Each structure stands twice: as C-alpha cells, then as structure tokens.
C-alpha cells in the first residue's frame, strides 16, 4: 500500500516550508467529500448538489489537524521549547497530539464546564497539561497572549500564522475532489479562522489554474455568540454548540473580507436550528458530526428558504468535527427509551414490533 503523504508535503508549493522544516504528521488531510443522497429530496430541492467535506475524519477528529501539522512543524524548526493554546476543545486535542508527536510539552487552557467530553479526554490522554479556566474562551485566549509576553512559549491558536496556511489546503482538496470550485461553501464560524483559510485556498486554486471560479463563502455563527453578525464583541457568549462559543473572533476582519469579496455572507443560526440540522444529517445521510459542525448545514437550510441559494446549485458543507467528540448531545436531543428488554424472543418481538 502506498505510504500516506503528509499534508504539508502534498501542498508544499503553497506552504512556507523549507528543506530544513521537520515535518510533524499524523496522517492529516485527504478527507472524503461525500455527496448527499437523501437530504436534497428531504429539503424539497432534489436538484441541489450537496457535498459534505468530512473533516471529522482527520487524526484527532477535526479540521484543526491541518493547521496544527504546520504550526507544530514550524515551532520545532524554530526550536520552540513548549506550546500553548486556549481552546473550546478541538484545538486543544489537536495541539496535544501534534505536540506529543513533536516531543514538545503542551499547555491547554479550556473554559471550565464548556468543553465536550471527547475533546477533554483526548487532551488528557495525549499528555497535555490541561488547565480549566473559570471564564470563557475569549478570556482564556487573552491569558495565553499575556503569558506568552512573559515566557518563552509558542502559541498554536489560529493567531499563529501557520495555522490558517495549513488549513487552506482543505479548499484545494475540495477543488480536486469536485474537479471545480463549488458555487457555495457553507461553514460554521467561531474564531472565524477556518472560513478565512478556505477563502485563501479557493483564491489560490483559481490563481494557480486549478479552478475557473470562486465559491460564495457563507459562514454561520451561533445566535448567542454572533459577534460578527451583530458587529460587536459578545461579552457572555452562549450556545449549545460549545466549539463556537466565542464572543470575540480572532480572524473577524479576514472573515468579513472573505464574505464580502466572494459575494457571500456571515449570518447566524439558533441552537434549535443547529440541533435540527445535526439530527437531520445523521438520519438522512448516516453522518455523525458534532453540533457546531451542523451550523453550516443549518445555514444552508435557512438560506434555501430565503432564496439565496438556487435549487440546482453545487454546495459544499464543511463538517468540521466528528460527532464522537460529543457523546452527550445525542442522548439529550433523542431521549431514547433504553429500558432493558428481557433476553427472550417474545419480549424482543414485542419491543421491536416484528
Ligand atoms: C468543530 O478548538 O475554536 O471559525 O478552540 O471546533 O476557525 O474558529 C474550535 C472551532 C467549527 C470554528 N467547528 O472554526 C477551538 C475552536 C468546530 C470547531 C469551529 C471550531 P473557526
């Protein structure tokens, strides 16, 4: 079997690496683009071409690995002694894994009580020093910046310029897989780094002759944390979608440029819309993403109703993280009856009605 090519080798020509850069790879990138079979019909738009970019199939279960492979490789090249990040969960899992692979100590600051269990479990088991903060993500990121002024430590949040450079490769992959750029990209927005990175990637795809067109970039914040939509910092962001529970997005301006340059938009979706989309993706397509990832699909549904998206468009929805990250939400939204059934055929037939 062919040896997997590290993401930063594959897109070397587009990335700031040299022969001296040590490549820290866990097999990231190359994630599937899967076409929806049932959802368009269920939504009443059978001609709509919906594709899901399954970023939850990266090695630590989220898109963060694309940026982390580069950030960690560059940190090692620069002889960093340790790395640190604030995180709503996925960045911490990714940083912890890649730091371990690089042999670097890793510190992660998490908003106490607001991180999905799977992400916390990962950061702990990969061996990071986990520090729950009695505050939200934005406060944790402020603390990380402050600490880095006093100590020799490399920040691997998306304010590290190598993160978005690595993440832009996802757009180049989409172009390869679709053999063109889509008409629309639907994507969740938290710190607004990923939408910015995709826009860089799509522009690069066009300027390098890999595609003829550019998609309209459509990003979605959760209503309780919609700083960009409201045009102001949200001091107390809230949402069930904890990954995007962010009130002061780090890449605010670049994301706004991506939306305006592409004739796209940044809008909000409610927790109810997010959870409805989350369940719909699982039940119509057999895809388990985490709640935050469903924000893009919730946005698609909202804008189909508004008429922003024509019913025969080609659309890519980025599913940013794996559903297994958050094992609690399915039980909350489905409330299944899990009372045990006696282990005999009669009881079983009664229970399933067959
Ligand atoms: C599944 O891990 O910010 O708009 O600290 O985990 O680039 O921030 C996670 C963000 C979307 C939003 N989907 O992306 C963190 C963190 C999932 C995420 C986002 C995140 P950005």
Q: What is the mean pLDDT of residues 38-47?
A: 98
Could you give the residue ranges of the DSSP H alpha helices within 64-209?
A: 64-77, 90-102, 117-125, 137-150, 161-167, 169-178, 193-207
Q: What is the DSSP letter of 267?
A: E
Q: What is the mean pLDDT of residues 219-236?
A: 98
Average model confidence (pLDDT) across the chain? 97
Quick check: 222 pLDDT over 90? Answer: yes
Over residues 57-111, the pLDDT tens digits come to 999 999 999 999 999 999 999 999 999 999 999 999 999 999 999 999 999 999 9
- Tokens found for residue 324: 């297994």
| Ligand 1 atom 10, closest CA | 243
Q: What is the mean pLDDT of residues 237-255?
A: 98
Residue linked to tokens 């002061």: 248
Residue 240 Cα to ligand 1 midpoint, Å, equals 14
Quick check: 1 pLDDT over 90? Answer: no
Q: Quick one: CA torsion of 230, 233, 239, 245, rounded to 10 degrees?
A: 130
Over residues 140-171, the pLDDT tens digits come to 999 999 999 999 999 999 999 999 999 999 99
Instruction: Enumerate residues lining ligand 1, CB below 6 A.
Output: 62, 87-91, 188-194, 243-244, 290, 292-293, 320-321
Same fold, 7-58+163-332 and 64-161: yes
Nearest atom, ligand 1, residue 255 CA: 4
Regarding pTM above 0.75, the answer is: yes
Alpha-carbon distance of 270 to 331, in angstroms, equals 20
Q: What is the pLDDT of residue 3?
A: 75
Q: What is the pLDDT of residue 2?
A: 74
Q: DSSP of 28-41, one letter per residue? A: -----EEE-SSHHH
Tell me the C-alpha to C-alpha distance, in Å, between residue 152 and each of 78, 80, 84, 173, 328. 12, 8, 10, 35, 38
What residue segments make up the domains of the chain, in order of their start? 7-58+163-332, 64-161
Residue 46 Cα to ligand 1 midpoint, Å, equals 31
Quick check: 248 pLDDT over 80? Answer: yes
Q: Which of 243, 252, 267 for a ligand 1 pocket mutation test, highest count of atoms within 8 Å of Cβ?
A: 243
Alpha-carbon distance of 215 to 200, in angstroms, equals 12
% the chain with pLDDT above 70: 100
CATH: 3.40.50.1100, 3.40.190.10, 1.10.1740.10, 3.90.230.10. Which one for 64-161? Answer: 3.40.50.1100
CATH: 3.50.50.60, 3.10.180.10, 3.30.450.20, 3.40.50.1100. Which one for 7-58+163-332? Answer: 3.40.50.1100
């Amino acid at each position: 079997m062919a040896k997997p090519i590290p993401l930063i080798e594959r897109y070397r020509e587009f990335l700031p690496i040299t022969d001296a850069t040590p490549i820290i790879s866990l097999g990231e990138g190359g994630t599937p683009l899967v076409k929806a079979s049932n959802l368009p019909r269920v939504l009443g738009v059978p001609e709509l071409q919906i594709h899901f970019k399954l970023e939850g199939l990266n090695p630590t279960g989220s898109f963060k690995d694309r940026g982390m492979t580069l950030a960690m490789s560059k940190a090692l090249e620069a002889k960093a002694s340790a790395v640190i990040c604030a995180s709503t969960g996925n960045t911490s899992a990714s940083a912890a894994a890649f730091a371990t692979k690089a042999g670097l100590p890793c510190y992660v600051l998490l908003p106490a009580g607001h991180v999905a269990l799977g992400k916390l479990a990962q950061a702990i088991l990969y061996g990071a020093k986990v520090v729950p903060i009695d505050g939200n993500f934005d406060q944790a990121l402020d603390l990380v910046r402050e600490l880095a002024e006093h100590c020799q430590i490399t920040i691997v949040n998306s304010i590290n310029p190598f993160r978005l450079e690595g993440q832009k490769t996802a757009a180049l992959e989409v172009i390869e897989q679709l053999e063109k750029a889509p008409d629309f990209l639907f994507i969740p927005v938290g710190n607004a780094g990923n939408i910015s990175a995709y826009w860089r990637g799509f522009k690069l795809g066009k300027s390098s002759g890999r595609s003829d067109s550019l998609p309209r970039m459509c990003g979605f914040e959760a209503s309780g944390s919609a700083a960009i939509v409201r045009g102001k910092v949200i001091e107390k962001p809230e949402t069930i979608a904890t990954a995007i529970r962010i009130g002061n997005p780090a890449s605010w301006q670049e994301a706004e440029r991506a939306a305006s340059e592409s004739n796209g938009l940044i809008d909000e979706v409610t927790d109810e819309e997010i959870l409805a989309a989350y369940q719909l993706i699982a039940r119509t397509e057999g895809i388990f993403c985490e709640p935050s990832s469903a924000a893009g699909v919730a946005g698609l549904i909202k804008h189909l109703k508004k008429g922003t998206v024509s019913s025969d468009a080609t659309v890519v929805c980025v599913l940013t993280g794996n559903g297994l990250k958050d094992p609690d939400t399915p039980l909350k939204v489905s409330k299944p009856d899990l009372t045990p059934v006696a282990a005999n055929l009669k009881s079983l037939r009664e229970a399933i009605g067959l």
